[in-house]
């Protein structure tokens, strides 16, 4: 007998166990992005065949979680197969308390990125310090990639060099890295182009090392550079400041700073609330250490036994098949 032969009943309907697992994996798939789930499970010494039965915060500024507006409603946690809503696992206590005030079940565990330093031995690589500025351009997603023309990219590279006042290395999101136009522009401009891995795979729970080690790669590349430049709101701003790097935020479009009630403006508004005065210049990390530690949830980071006890997990046969010896 296998998982397809077993089942359960809910609401007068019969479901196979296999269907139930796929339902849970689909509803809670965001935890697999950037390998955040694996970081928490590895640190807590819980097998990777376990699903975290919670909605894990996607990024430092997460739409619908800690970034809301009139046109950006608050996100409601998905329901499990029994109809109950799963808890939120969030980075910091402020987000936790805010969600609880709306009646949601939420627990702060710290940003998974914070746990990497204690797991580094798993993927330790040699440092490669570079006296250049690392650039994180604005990026899209697979269904809506950001695809500027060759002439536009060449202009951006010229501008980034001027803003950085140094040589640059461009780190593209994996979606844009697949675009040959970026490679052509960087070749013409004699600029090194890198990427950190794949943010998500299909199926979402696939055990590709390029997904699982994404944040490890980010952690390593941040150690290799002293300065970071970006033209968009990205979690890398906060991770770079946490690592003690100088960060320059130069908006790709000045209109995003205007009082517009939309998703992008809401992100910029929250960035300026957390890190005031960070626009169109490089800022030094020590000045913002307390603010960055707060948003990343340094005070909420748990030790391994506490995290293991706190994480709501369930082993799934669908996941166990990925980790057979």
The token pair that represents 287 in the structure block: 């000045």
Contact 147, 137 (CB under 8 A): no
CATH 3.40.50 fits 127-296, yes or no: yes
- What is the pLDDT at residue 143? 76
Distance CA 241, CA 227 (A): 10
∠ CA 155-157-162, nearest 5°, is 95
- What is the pLDDT at residue 214? 96
Q: What confidence tier does 264 reach under pLDDT thresholds 50, 70, 90? A: confident
Q: Which of 1-5, 142-146, 187-191, 266-270 has the highest mean pLDDT?
A: 187-191
Contact 228, 246 (CB under 8 A): yes
Question: Under DSSP, is residue 14 helix (H, G, I), strand (E, B) or coil?
Answer: strand
Q: What confidence tier does 155 reach under pLDDT thresholds 50, 70, 90? A: very high
The token pair that represents 121 in the structure block: 């031995």
- What is the pLDDT at residue 119? 93
- On the 0-12 / 13-18 / 19+ scale of CB atoms within 10 A, 172 is buried
Distance CA 233, CA 66 (A): 14
Lowest model confidence (mean pLDDT) among 34-43, 120-129, 179-188, 275-284: 120-129
Per-domain boundaries in the chain: 7-118+299-323, 127-296
Contact 37, 206 (CB under 8 A): no
Q: What confidence tier does 2 reach under pLDDT thresholds 50, 70, 90? A: very low
Distance CA 52, CA 132 (A): 39
Distance CA 239, CA 237 (A): 6
């Amino acid at each position: 007998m296998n998982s397809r032969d077993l089942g359960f009943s809910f609401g007068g309907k019969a479901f196979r166990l296999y269907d139930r697992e796929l339902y849970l994996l689909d509803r809670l798939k965001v935890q697999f992005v950037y390998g955040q789930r694996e970081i928490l499970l590895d640190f807590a010494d819980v097998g990777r065949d376990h699903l975290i039965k919670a909605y894990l915060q996607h990024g430092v500024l997460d739409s619908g979680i800690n970034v809301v507006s009139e046109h950006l409603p608050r996100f409601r946690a998905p329901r499990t197969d029994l109809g109950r809503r799963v808890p939120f696992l969030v980075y910091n206590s402020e987000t936790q308390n805010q969600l609880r005030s709306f009646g949601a079940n939420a627990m702060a565990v710290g940003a998974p990125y914070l746990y990497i330093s204690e797991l580094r031995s798993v993927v330790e690589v040699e440092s490669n310090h570079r006296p250049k500025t690392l650039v994180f351009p604005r990026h899209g997603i697979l269904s809506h990639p950001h695809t500027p023309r060759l002439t536009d990219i060449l202009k951006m590279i010229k501008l980034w060099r001027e803003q950085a006042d140094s040589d640059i290395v461009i780190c593209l999101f994996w979606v844009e890295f697949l675009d040959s136009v970026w490679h052509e522009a960087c070749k013409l401009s004699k600029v090194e182009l890198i990427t950190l891995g794949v943010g998500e795979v299909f199926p979402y729970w696939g055990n590709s090392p390029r997904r699982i080690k994404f944040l490890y790669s980010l952690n390593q590349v941040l150690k290799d550079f002293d300065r970071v430049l970006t033209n968009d709101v990205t979690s890398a701003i906060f991770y770079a400041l946490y690592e003690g790097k100088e960060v320059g935020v130069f908006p790709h479009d000045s209109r995003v700073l205007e009082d517009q009630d939309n998703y992008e403006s809401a992100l910029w508004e929250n960035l300026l609330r957390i890190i005031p005065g960070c626009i169109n210049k490089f800022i030094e990390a020590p000045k913002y250490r307390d603010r960055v530690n707060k948003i990343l949830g340094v005070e909420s980071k748990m030790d391994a036994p506490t995290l293991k006890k706190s994480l709501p997990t369930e082993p799934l046969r669908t996941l166990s098949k990925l980790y057979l010896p």
